[in-house]
Amino acid sequence: MVSGVTAGDAKCKILHRWRYANIANQTNHQGLIDFDQKLVACGDWCIAGRVESAFLVGHAVAQKILANIN
């Protein structure tokens, strides 16, 4: 309960399940970077479909970008 509000007070309750969070064959790579096009693709799908994976891949991509800024 936050500030006297509970989930029971909600007018609408929706639960969303992300069905594709854990795909069968994750690539286990550290993101995709195209320095020429200035594009990056990364996320939890790179490793294990978990929020921790999204953070780790995002951090790895940021390190690669910082290393190539010069």
Instruction: Scan for tokens 């978990």, then name that residue.
Output: 50
Question: Residue 21 has what pLDDT?
Answer: 63
Q: Give burial (CB, 10 Å; 0-12/13-18/19+) of 65.
A: middle
Please tell me the total count of domains within the chain: 1
Rounded Cα distance between 16 and 9, Å, is 19
Residue-wise DSSP of 29-59 = ---EEETTTTEEE-SGGGTTSSHHHHHHHHH
pTM (2 decimals)?
A: 0.61
Rounded Cα distance between 60 and 70, Å, is 17
Question: Residue 25 has what pLDDT?
Answer: 66
pLDDT in tens, 37-64: 989 988 887 887 778 888 998 999 999 9
31 occurs within a structural domain:
yes
34 occurs within a structural domain:
yes
pLDDT in tens, 9-23: 778 878 877 766 666
67 occurs within a structural domain:
yes
Range of the domain at 62: 27-70
Question: Residue 9 has what pLDDT?
Answer: 78
Question: Residue 29 has what pLDDT?
Answer: 75
